[in-house]
Structure 1
Amino acid sequence: MVDNDTQIVESNSSSSIGKLSSIILDDYTLYKCEINNNLINNYLQDKLLPFENVSWKNSIKNNVFHSKPIKYHCDSRLNNNNLKELSNSITFEELLLNLLKNENKKNLRYNFVITGNYLSFMEIAHRHEISYYLLSKHISLSDRSNDVRFAGEFWCDEKNLFKLNNNSGTYTPSNDLIQQTTQLFNQLTPQLHFQGLPYQISLRPSIKSRFITKTKAKLPFTSTS
């Protein structure tokens, strides 16, 4: 029996990809895909530590995300016992294609984390929805794992190109890891042809900038002549 917060998602039974599961969190869904450890080790050997860069901001984040209330909130919603799987009628590649090319969600980004044996990802929540914003953070997606290999974002842009970057303030993967991660994605999803970009040149415009752009697009054209 499936509870109200949980929906079963299909699994892929290939040699590289294990079961594919999900947890429905109202308007958002967390996906988790098991991946062969040897395959991940072929591309990403080093483990990343959270909040490794010493700064007052990281110190605050570390204390917040390891505080008992935040841990309880995230752990109770993202508990592995709530993950459900279905048949193997859809592949990991097909799932990403369906999600990222959805016309209603075009250009929406997903946070993702790769550990030593799985990849988990979730749509980046809107900032005002603090409960889901916390759940979509990389440290929550990794379940505070000690075996994180990469963290960033992926999306499909307006030209239908699949892209990923290393935008994670928690794990700060270096630009050098982008190529290996892109190769891993293209091994898992050969038809999608992912492109890897440094976060410095692929950040989303700020909320203010996006609002101004949308507002200008709605204004009627007026001639200056």
Structure 2
Amino acid sequence: MNKPNLNAPVITIDGPAGVGKGTLAHQLAADLGWAFLDSGAIYRVAALYALRHAIPLDNEDALVDAIRTLDIDCQQALILLNGENVSEAIRNETCASATSKIAALPQVRQALLALQQSFQQLPGLVADGRDMGTVVFAHAPLKLFLTASAEVRAERRLKQLKRQGLEADLAQLVKDISERDYRDANRAVAPLKAAADAQVIDTSRLSVAEVKALVTPMLRALGYLPA
């Protein structure tokens, strides 16, 4: 695990699922030529490794020892574990269930915190997640917090599922999203919330291009883009 380079600038993009933070983070990282961090994927990769190596999901010491050996790389759409593309492997329900179990363990969270912070390297980092600006990179000079109504996010999710050939009920999606928002905002450890110095953007009626148009002046003001 590399030590973070505290001279490397960081842009954090936090918010609940379905607000477009991943898409924005990908595009900003590409535009700036910076690294990209999908923090949620980091937890999933750790869970996948534990499952593959039969590490008990309640054995904090063994999990932490394993996490410290992992070579995880986020390359835009690809998530690599020790050089292997695990982008699809970390998205199944078994991995999701294991992820929720290890994410509740304090020592695991602390180890993954260090791993996430190790992504701070020159020329810079765009970090996407739920506690990037409040916990992981609380020192970041630019923090964005994206939000959108549960109804809009449910509609986006429904369209995504339909493109995959899957059916879903819109009302149930709204209910599921609202319940997840409540859990995330009220959890004891690293609750989902905007940092005090975050720029809050409601994406309910904005395209990705329109969100980028709002963010671009912020990047120029910090010298990340030419004036």
Task: Please give the TM-score of this superposition, normalised by the length of structure 1.
Answer: 0.30
Tell which has more relative contact order, 1 or 2 (C-alpha 8 A, sep 6+): 2
> Between Structure 1 and Structure 2, whose CA radius of gyration is higher?
1
TM-score, scaled relative to structure 2 = 0.30
User: Whose helix proportion is higher, 1 or 2?
Assistant: 2
